[in-house]
Structure 1
Amino acid sequence: MKPKIIQIPDAIRSATMRAVKSANTKPEMIVRSLAHRLGFRFRLHCKALRGCPDLVFAARRKAIFVNGCFWHGHDCRRGARTPKTNVVYWRTKIANNRRRDAAAQADLAAAGWAVLTVWECETRSLETLRTRLLSFLS
């Protein structure tokens, strides 16, 4: 069965996309708070680095991206869900996000940076997240 494509008016789509935050999201705030409590200091949203990492530990040359499972196509229950309307648009958008993420990480690695991606679903277990952060930042 061919997916049904519904055209959403530009004004509605624009308003919806404007409402989606790209910085200071709840998962990002969880990671920031935990890293700070562990004694690490960092810069936020460094635009000088490709991909604008959410947390940057410049002295350690390490960067952390905190990605939403849906928006970045994570292979989990939440990220694997494709909306039932406008399927072609969403598949293309998420595929482009994944390509952009991979290119940014490759560029950072080539420049000598270590990169960690923390997924939204991983912020639910603080103990596991704490272990990952300590392992990455130490």
Structure 2
Amino acid sequence: MPPGSWASSAARRRNMQAIRSRDTQPELLIRRLLHAQGLRYRVAAKPLPGLRRTADLVFRPTKVAVFIDGCYWHGCPEHYVPPKTNSGYWSDKVARNMARDQDTSQRLRDAGWTVLRYWEHESPDACALQIAATVSKLRSKTS
């Protein structure tokens, strides 16, 4: 473990580095369902050029940004369990993630985007249906 590392042990560091930030199982399931419905989208894309944040799915023509948030990393009210080790660091990290999520959603809404957020534990079928309905509704408005 490098000196001054944020990880509490070499094993923890390896574990944390292995966690995916994109192409998670919930994302893949939702993407597969949307693709089967004929919807096309950008994956892990920046909705706004000046914003250094990416959405999991971006529908540019209709200005829809979709986020599928992990229960631990984004502080799910149902499933988040504070860590027992190095709790101060990890709890602060999750709190910063939650604040950034709110800021991102607000900035996108201010720029005229529709923001859809889902938890990883939500039904992929239900999420895909809501995303498809939202995109379809916004497409019909612009036509």
Instruction: Name the TM tier (shorter chain).
Output: 0.7 to 0.9
Q: Where do 1:27-106 residues align within 5 Å?
A: 27-47=26-46, 49=48, 50=51, 51-76=53-78, 78=79, 80-106=80-106
For 1:40-92, what per-residue CA distance to the aligned partner results, in whole angstroms no more than 9, with x for missing partners?
1101111363320011100111110111111100111x2x2112222211210
For 1:16-45, what per-residue CA distance to the aligned partner results, in whole angstroms no more than 9, with x for missing partners?
221110011101101111111122110111
CA–CA distance in structure 2, aligned partners of residues 133 and 48 of structure 1? 16
Q: TM-score, normalised by structure 2?
A: 0.79
CA–CA distance in structure 2, aligned partners of residues 99 and 136 of structure 1? 25
SS in 1 for 2:65: strand
**Which amino acid in structure 2 is aligned with residue 68 of structure 1?**
G
CA–CA distance in structure 1, aligned partners of residues 128 and 26 of structure 2? 14
SS in 2 for 1:93: helix
Equivalent pairs counted in the alignment come to 127
Question: Paired residue for 1:134?
Answer: 132
**Which amino acid in structure 2 is aligned with residue 70 of structure 1?**
Y
Q: CA shift at 1:12, angstroms?
A: 4.1
Contact 1:116/1:136 (8 A) holds in 2: no
Structure 2 spans left out of the alignment, 5+ residues? 1-6, 137-143
SS in 2 for 1:97: helix
Q: TM-score, normalised by structure 1?
A: 0.82
CA RMSD of aligned residues (A): 1.8
Contact 2:83/2:91 (8 A) holds in 1: no
For 1:82-129, what per-residue CA distance to the aligned partner results, in whole angstroms no more than 9, with x for missing partners?
122222112101000001111111111111111101210103x52x22
Q: Percent identity?
A: 38
Contact 1:44/1:54 (8 A) holds in 2: yes
Structure 1 spans left out of the alignment, 5+ residues? 1-6
Q: CA shift at 1:132, angstroms?
A: 1.8
